[in-house]
Amino acid sequence: MADLAHGKPDQRGLSHAAGADSHGVGTRRDFLTIAGNALAVVGAACVAWPLIDSMNPAQDTLAAGAPVDIDISKLQPGQQIVVLWRSRPIFVVNRTPDLLQTLQQPQDLALLSDPNSEVLQQPGYAKNWNRSLQPQYLVLVGICTHLGCIPSFMPQANSVGPGWIGGYFCPCHGSRYDLSGRVYSGVPAPYNLPVPPYRFLNPTTIRIGENPPNEADFSLDSVVQI
Amino acid sequence: MAGTPSTVRTNNKLVRWIDRRLPLFSFAQDAMIDYPEPRNLNYWWNFGSLAGLMLVIMIVTGVFLAMQYTPDSNLAFNSVERVMRDVNYGWLLRYIHMNGASFFFIVVYIHIFRGMYYGSYKEPRELLWMLGVVILLLMMATAFFGYVLPWGQMSFWGATVITNLFSVIPVVGKTVLTWLLGGYAVGGPTLARFFSLHYLLPFVIVGVVGLHLIALRQHGSNNPLGIAVKGPQDELPFHPYYTIKDLFGLGVFLIIYALFVFEMPNVLGDAANYIPANPLQTPPEIVPEWYLLPFYAILRSVPDILFIPSKLAGAICLAGSILILFLLPWLDTSRVRSAYFRPIYKWVFWLIVIDVFALGTVGAHRPEGWYIVIGRIATLYYFFHFLILLPFIGWFERPLPLPESISAAVTRKNGVPVGAAPAEPR
Amino acid sequence: MRRLFPAALGAALLLCAGGAWAQEDAPDAPHQDWSFAGVLGTFDPGSLQRGFQVYNEVCSNCHSMNQLHYRDLAGIGFDTAEIAAIAAQKQVQDGPNDQGQMFMRAGKSSDGFVAPFANAQAAAAANGGAAPPDLSVIVKARGKGLEYLWGMGGPDYVYGVLNGFQDKPPAGFNLPQGKYYNEYFSGHAISMPPPLADGTVQFQDGTKSTLPQEAHDVVTFLTWAAEPKMEDRKRTGAKVIIFLLAMTGVLYGAKRKVWKDVH
Ligand code: HEM
Ligand code: FES
């Protein structure tokens, strides 16, 4: 079909499409056929786009991704609540000073794969030792960076095994994270748990999905891996 | 195709490697490039490929719509409105699909009338024709099921009226009806099964279209002169002659189609279908989509006949009006195919066209006054045409002399293309 | 003759088959000029916003618009903050909360338009037995299919009804209790009291709020609401059709060339 030129019909009425072009190049028929075919191909490509785009999230789905507000006034120290934002679980943890301490012990940091949160898995304002705006409150997207399961919240020491200092354990393939969502080396999950954009409306209300004023815009779409 | 396999004309090694093992390329070459067609096909022969294209358009847009559609009686109407408002290009998909049904029928009806004018149903193409009638029946069923899906007033009451036809079956009618509906009236279960069937049937159509094409290849296309191809001098290869002609025809067709989709997408539909289905209120008038109007008119036009009540008689005539097409190859007794050479049939053909339009007009109006009279006459004439007129004309008509061959008829003589007005009585 | 005959016949027959669905028990409402009519017609932005004001202040007391969301108002030129403010004036039921209770909160832009009644029964009970219809697609539901091309049908009809009330029915017309006489409503006896009059709303942009003006604006708004993608559709359509014309022209040339050798 790549051969666009055609000879005259011979006695049998069949043209030899390949190799029988006696007109040489640049005849008007060639031009018209090529132009016609080109237009048809462009047209077909334009037709494909609406079909593809119709499978992208619709306006109502996008609107349902609007920010959600979480009341943390009743969140007890050491506890976690889970809310849905954009159909994804968001973990919010009230970390006790004891738990926060586990995040800074050098012997534990040595076991982490990305202790300084170098990989873009969090907004700039959460790229710190506690991966949060206020150390007391941890906010994470609760989706394992391996294959998407929801890691379990295991704050108790030794609850996952001897030497466990508290953190997240993924039931699917055993990935482990510490209590700031940083992944340990040598487990299937490659990256730290993502931190969504969020801000404090007041000391007891967190809004998920909106950056703090005066902070650079961060969108969850930009993280390396959810 | 059996026997000596052709080889694909290319130097591309990969293509040849594949083709030796899986002869896709040589099949395409045989079917779409070298395939010989009569050299005198006119533009009425474009409608076959257009129908194929419409089927593809309907399936593609349908599959994408089905990703957004919810077949639940509480949600269906809203899910269609969501497609129109929130889904990216949803309005485009829906309007292409909605108007596509109409254009599919326009194309297929022209295709059918083309066959009737040029006698394409005659020996040896009877099965080709009958497979076509099967496609028409499947299309009607598909369109009917599809029209129920948006779950507007016309969807609901159209479904009610048509399914109730089954209650005319003696003895088991009511049982059958309840079984079809999955309840005592049209409702959620009906919608769910109609959606399932609406998704299924187009693929059945694809299958029957395949058979239709196999039957077509067996004896090749008929042609405006209706005489057999006598040799290569009567033929042209499909490519480039008919590919370019089909493409040009496609362009013209798409322009008209696009005018409807983009400028007046609701003209062919019924406003009442923008009112959500309400089982407690029948709209003032129930009209099917335009493409079913002639059959709807036949249904309503039949009075009580002897001991058969009007309702049953109407349903029988409705079914008969389509089934009769299966018998057309034998009802037409003329040995000559094309109406070009049939001085009487040529006019009778236009009478049946007018008759079908008259039925369509009657179907669109309340059965009152003149519409009843016209409806009855037109229904009677419809059956008269097929059952009496066609056989008799075939016996009595004296056809004009047929040309020796296609090439003899179409080759320029003294600079006058004879094929442009073949065998006009002089 | 041979070629013209089928075409002429088809055209004639189509003409006689058309025009079948006219309502005969009320006259057609007179045709109005609409900004959205025509092949490239667009909605008049001022009229849209005034029309929303009329719906919001008057019609929405009885009629729902269930297919619309406050976020959709971006399509008639409101910005995010304005939409949030409009939505926040409404009370929306949400829940259940942690105690399992439903509760009321201020509306958000992702909420659907709040309906005046909880369900059709409540709507009917509050309106003398006739539930006011949802207005989301009323213009299309009362249309003849051409409203977005020529502005015929639906928009004219709704405009006609809003302007068509008469204090006294014509002599001899028996108006049932609790009904109002309307020139363009099928059967003339409508359960809706005249909703608009001169000065029913105060337009923020200073336009004089005569009855015809209010009706014109609210119909423009309702026509937009019935098909918010109309402008997209016409714009895309113009491009598609120009493209197809060009493509078909080229294909015609190619076809002529290819077939030149044959006869
Ligand atoms: C022979 C091919 C087909 C015909 C003639 C046909 C016809 C129709 C018709 C008349 C409607 C109602 C349009 C309206 O008034 O809104 C409809 C709706 C629909 N069809 Fe089809 N259809 C075909 C193929 C398909 C296929 C293959 C699918 C799915 C895979 C499909 C999915 C749908 C859906 C989801 C709707 C409801 C959405 C809507 O109303 O726009 N259709 N179809
Ligand atoms: S998904 Fe969490 S470890 Fe595999």
State how many domains chain C has. 1
**Lowest mean pLDDT: which of A23-37, A48-62, B46-60, B317-331?**
A23-37
Give yes or no for residue B80 CB within 6 A of ligand 1.
yes
A41 vs C19, higher pLDDT: A41
pLDDT at A200 over 50: yes
Q: Quick one: average pLDDT of A205-209? A: 95
pLDDT at A2 over 60: no
CA dist B321 and B382 (Å) reads 8
From chain C residues 75-114, the ones with a CB under 8 A of any chain B CB are none
Judging contacts by C-beta atoms under 8 Å, the chain B residues touching residue A17 are 9, 33, 239
Residues paired with residue A200 on neighbouring β-strands, in sequence order: A206
Evaluate whether residue B7 is within a structural domain: no
By residue range, what is the domain housing residue B383? 287-426
| CATH number, domain containing residue B224 | 1.20.810.10
B425 vs C156, higher pLDDT: C156
Evaluate whether residue B203 is within a structural domain: yes
Q: Quick one: average pLDDT of C80-99? A: 92
The residue among C3, C232, C248, C257 with the most chain B CBs within 10 A of its CB, best to mutate, is: C248
- Give the pair of three-digit tokens for residue B202: 């187009």
Q: Nearest CA to CA, how far is A17 from chain B (Å)?
A: 8
The pLDDT score that the predictor gives to residue B5 is 56
State how many domains chain B has. 2
Give yes or no for residue B139 CB within 6 A of ligand 1.
yes
SS3 (DSSP) at A149: coil
The pLDDT score that the predictor gives to residue C3 is 46
CA dist B403 and B415 (Å) reads 18
Nearest-by-Cβ selection for A60 from B36, B82, B233: B82
Q: Which atom of ligand 1 is nearest to the CA of B138?
A: 1
CA dist B185 and B164 (Å) reads 9
Quick one: pLDDT band at residue C261, thresholds 50, 70, 90? confident
Nearest-by-Cβ selection for B266 from C145, C236, C252: C145
Which residue lies with its CA nearest to atom 1 of ligand 2? A147
Q: Which atom of ligand 1 is nearest to the CA of B203?
A: 27
Examine the residue annotation and report whether A16 is marked as an active-site residue of this protein: no
Cβ–Cβ contact C259 with A under 8 A: no
pLDDT at A18 over 60: no
pLDDT at C25 over 60: yes
By residue range, what is the domain housing residue C44? 29-66+136-245
Which residue lies with its CA nearest to atom 3 of ligand 2? A173
| Radius of gyration of chain C from its Cα atoms, rounded to whole angstroms | 24
Judging contacts by C-beta atoms under 8 Å, the chain A residues touching residue C250 are 32, 35-36, 39
**Lowest mean pLDDT: which of A59-73, A107-121, B39-53, B269-283?**
A59-73
As for ligand 2, residues whose beta carbon falls within 6 Å of it are A 144, 146-149, 170, 172-175, 188-189
Contact between chains at B85 and C149 (C-beta distance less than 8 A) = no
B418 vs B33, higher pLDDT: B33
Are residue B268 and residue B144 in the same domain, yes or no? yes
Evaluate whether residue C226 is within a structural domain: yes
Give yes or no for residue B65 CB within 6 A of ligand 1.
yes
Evaluate whether residue C209 is within a structural domain: yes
The pLDDT score that the predictor gives to residue A27 is 61
Are residue B130 and residue B86 in the same domain, yes or no? yes
Q: Domain end: B240, B267, B286, which one?
A: B286
> Residue A43 — φ and ψ, nearest 5°?
-60, -45
Q: Is B76 exposed, middle or buried (0-12, 13-18, 19+ CB in 10 A)?
A: buried
pLDDT at A19 over 60: no
CA dist C171 and C114 (Å) reads 41
pLDDT in tens, B293-323: 999 999 999 988 878 888 889 999 999 999 9
Q: Quick one: average pLDDT of B40-68? A: 97
Are residue B271 and residue B293 in the same domain, yes or no? no
pLDDT at C95 over 90: no
Give domain limits for chain A: 2-53, 61-222
Are residue B271 and residue B291 in the same domain, yes or no? no
Q: Which ligand is nearest to the CA of B61?
A: 1
Q: Is the preceding peptide bond at B240 cis, omega within 30 degrees of 0?
A: yes
Contact between chains at A32 and C69 (C-beta distance less than 8 A) = no
Cβ–Cβ contact C137 with B under 8 A: yes
The pLDDT score that the predictor gives to residue C149 is 74
Are residue B278 and residue B327 in the same domain, yes or no? no
Closest Cα in chain B to A9: B236
Quick one: pLDDT band at residue A28, thresholds 50, 70, 90? low
Mean predicted lDDT score pLDDT of chain B? 92
Q: Domain end: B259, B286, B313, which one?
A: B286
Strands C103-106 and A88-94: unpaired
Judging contacts by C-beta atoms under 8 Å, the chain A residues touching residue B86 are 58-61
The one-letter code for the residue type at B62 is: G
**Taking chain B, what is the end-to-end CA distance rounded to the nearest angstrom?**
43
| CATH number, domain containing residue C47 | 1.10.760.10
Do C224 and C48 meet the contact criterion of CB atoms below 8 Å apart? yes
Evaluate whether residue B27 is within a structural domain: no
- Give the pair of three-digit tokens for residue B88: 């990216």
The pLDDT score that the predictor gives to residue B313 is 92
Q: Domain end: B268, B286, B304, which one?
A: B286
Evaluate whether residue B101 is within a structural domain: yes
pLDDT in tens, B226-264: 999 999 999 999 989 999 999 999 999 999 999 999 999
The pLDDT score that the predictor gives to residue A66 is 82
Instruction: Tell me the C-alpha to C-alpha distance, in Å, between residue C100 and each of A72, A206, C96, C104.
Output: 18, 22, 5, 13
Q: Nearest CA to CA, how far is C67 from chain B (Å)?
A: 7
The pLDDT score that the predictor gives to residue B6 is 65
pLDDT in tens, C209-232: 999 999 999 999 999 999 999 999
Q: Quick one: average pLDDT of B381-402? A: 95
Contact between chains at C110 and A66 (C-beta distance less than 8 A) = yes
**Maximum Cα–Cα distance across chain C:** 85
Q: Quick one: average pLDDT of C37-64? A: 95
pLDDT at A11 over 90: no
Evaluate whether residue C161 is within a structural domain: yes
**Lowest mean pLDDT: which of A10-14, B6-10, B103-107?**
A10-14
B10 vs A29, higher pLDDT: B10
Are residue B268 and residue B383 in the same domain, yes or no? no
CATH homologous superfamily of domain A61-222?
A: Rieske [2Fe-2S] iron-sulphur domain (2.102.10.10)
| CATH number, domain containing residue B413 | 1.10.287.980
pLDDT at C32 over 60: yes
CA dist A168 and A170 (Å) reads 7
Quick one: pLDDT band at residue B1, thresholds 50, 70, 90? very low
Are residue B253 and residue B292 in the same domain, yes or no? no
Evaluate whether residue B2 is within a structural domain: no
Contact between chains at C237 and B248 (C-beta distance less than 8 A) = no
